[in-house]
């Protein structure tokens, strides 16, 4: 069955990837989750008021980003700052305190109370949260593992203000996991969008500029998938995508309009996460203007000929880590020999295996590849890891067990220790 790699329910989804840490942690620690308790938990955590002292960074953020009438009191307090009066105490939302950090690549994307129901869908669309049961997926386990490696206090930072452990900072291992997930689930839109942006030259573009490319991209995706056999779910998703294309096209005909609309709602949640992972950069972190980074230009070069869902799958399996290595290090990075891959896979398996001892082979390979590239400057492609695992099992038939999916493809793996054998 063909896979549609297009994000669903894109309207007003989470823009900052850091919020995902709280969402995933919540579903991992709650025996029974639903949309209500994970959505409300997220907004209640980040909208909680924290008393702090005003400083220049927070002053600038308040003046530029807090423009709603609800923030009148804090804006009045900010207007009194200066002329020797620098000890003003204020109450700011926890998320605003973190977003006011000028070291972040983007300082936009705060959440609002009334949209609590929409925010969890981003975690489901990226495969971190299981839709229907609202439980943690293996990809979510990988995220929590990478957070714990870097700084466990990033999770605690949603309970108390810890400026040195800002959860909106996305570190290298986390970036790779998010980037893989974004391409895997929205590659049919973002890759052609990235190609279009490169063709415009490396100039500054806005969210509206990026959104203007979406109708044609959507239509190509729709035409490609409608030419194949489809499930009912696929047809419904294509209909929603077509309606979105029509809405953006109508809005694009308007010469001038105020505020946001279908164009911004389709582009912001789609391109803002790529600022966090480093493919895009912002001249001003508080505005929705972008340019491609050197990292992003290298990625654009590597994926410019990729278009279909199957081509994206092949790229992720065979070229993802090599491309990341070239983009980050600008030089070739050695691949790990086949006979040396197994220890990396065993380490990854221990981190994310379920209670029955099994873990999806792709997820084991993805986590092993991320840790190898960042920690060892070595490349392990997912397809290579799968081959190494199969070869290891043939040589050591009692050391690894597999499960297969309904198509007969190896799906999960479990390493068996020597005592159990």
Dump pLDDT digits (tens) for 314-359: 999 999 999 999 888 766 677 888 889 999 999 999 999 999 999 9
The 8 Å CB, 24+ separation contacts for 228-235 are: 228/2, 229/1, 229/2, 230/2, 231/1, 234/2, 234/4
Q: What is the pLDDT of residue 332?
A: 67
- Tell me the two tokens of residue 280: 């895009």
Contacts 24+ apart (CB under 8 A), 413-416: 413/345, 413/349, 413/358, 413/359, 413/361, 413/364, 413/389, 414/349, 414/353, 414/356, 414/357, 414/358, 414/359, 415/346, 415/349, 415/357
pLDDT value of position 421: 61
Q: Express each pLDDT in 38-51 by its tens digit.
A: 999 999 999 999 99
Helix/strand/coil for 365: helix
Q: In this structure, what token pair is assigned to residue 86?
A: 């620098």
Place of tokens 């909208």: 47
Q: How far apart (Å, rounded) are the C-alpha atoms in residues 415 and 404?
A: 15
**Residue 133 or 140, more confident:** 140
Kindly report, residue by residue over 385-405, the tens digit of the pLDDT: 999 999 999 999 999 999 999
* Phi, psi for residue 289 in degrees, rounded to 5: -115, 145
Residues paired with 15 in a beta bridge? none
Q: Which residues of 240-254 are buried (b: 16+ CB within 10 A; e: fewer)?
A: ebbebbebbbebbee
Task: Calculate mean pLDDT across residues 68-88.
Answer: 82
**What are the residue ranges of helices labelled H in 113-213?**
120-125, 138-150, 153-156, 172-199, 207-212
What is 333-415's CATH number? 1.10.10.1420
The string of pLDDT tens digits covering residues 261-306 is 778 888 999 999 999 999 999 999 999 999 999 999 999 999 999 9
Encoding tokens for residue 338?
A: 């086949």
Question: What is the residue extent of each domain of the chain?
Answer: 19-165, 172-305, 333-415
In 3D, which of 344, 330, 326 has the Cα closest to residue 384?
A: 344
pLDDT bin (cut points 50, 70, 90) of residue 88 is confident
Mean pLDDT of all residues in the chain? Answer: 91
Phi, psi of 418 (to 5 degrees): -65, -35
* Encoded tokens for 354: 């379920």
Q: How many CB atoms lie within 10 A of CB 388?
A: 22
377 within 8 A of 329, measured Cβ to Cβ: yes
356: its two tokens: 């029955």
Q: How remote is the C-alpha of 152 from its chain's centroid? A: 19
CB under 8 Å to 156, separation ≥6 — which residues?
162, 165
CB atoms within 10 A of CB 351: 20
């Amino acid at each position: 069955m063909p896979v549609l790699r297009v994000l669903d329910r894109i309207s007003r989804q989470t823009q900052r990837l850091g919020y995902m840490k709280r969402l995933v942690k919540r579903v991992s620690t709650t025996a029974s989750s639903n949309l209500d308790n994970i959505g409300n938990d997220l907004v209640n955590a980040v909208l909680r008021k924290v008393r702090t002292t005003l400083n220049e960074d927070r002053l600038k953020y308040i003046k530029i980003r807090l423009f709603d009438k609800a923030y009148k009191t804090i804006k009045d307090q900010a207007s009194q700052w200066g002329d020797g009066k620098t000890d003003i105490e204020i109450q700011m939302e926890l998320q605003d305190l973190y977003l006011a950090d000028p070291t972040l690549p983007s300082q936009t994307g705060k959440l609002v109370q009334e949209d609590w129901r929409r925010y969890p869908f981003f975690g489901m669309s990226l495969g971190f949260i299981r839709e229907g049961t609202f439980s943690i997926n293996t990809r979510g386990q990988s995220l929590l593992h990478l957070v714990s490696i870097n700084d466990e206090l990033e999770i605690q930072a949603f309970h108390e203000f810890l400026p040195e452990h800002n959860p909106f900072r996305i570190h290298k291992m986390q970036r790779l996991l998010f980037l893989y997930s974004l391409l895997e689930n929205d590659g049919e839109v973002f890759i052609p969008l990235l190609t279009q942006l490169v063709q415009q030259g490396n100039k500054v573009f806005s969210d509206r500029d990026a959104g203007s490319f979406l109708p044609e991209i959507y239509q190509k995706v729709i035409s490609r998938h409608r030419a194949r056999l489809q499930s009912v779910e696929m047809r419904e998703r294509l209909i929603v995508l077509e309606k979105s294309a029509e809405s953006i096209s109508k809005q694009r005909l308007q010469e001038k309009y105020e505020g946001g609309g279908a164009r911004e709602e389709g582009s912001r949640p789609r391109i803002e996460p790529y600022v966090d992972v480093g493919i895009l950069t912002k001249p001003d972190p508080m505005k929705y203007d972008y340019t491609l980074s050197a990292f992003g230009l290298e990625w654009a070069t590597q994926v410019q000929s990729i278009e279909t869902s199957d081509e994206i799958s092949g790229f992720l399996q065979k070229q993802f880590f090599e491309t990341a290595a070239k983009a980050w290090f600008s030089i070739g990075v050695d691949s790990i020999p086949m006979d040396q891959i197994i220890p990396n896979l065993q380490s990854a398996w221990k981190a994310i295996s379920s209670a029955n001892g099994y873990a999806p082979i792709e997820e084991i390979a993805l986590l092993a590849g991320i840790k190898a590239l960042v920690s060892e400057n070595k490349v392990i492609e997912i397809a290579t890891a799968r081959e190494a695992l199969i070869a290891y099992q043939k040589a050591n038939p009692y050391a690894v067990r597999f499960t297969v999916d309904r198509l007969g493809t190896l799906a999960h793996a479990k390493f068996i220790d020597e005592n159990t054998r």
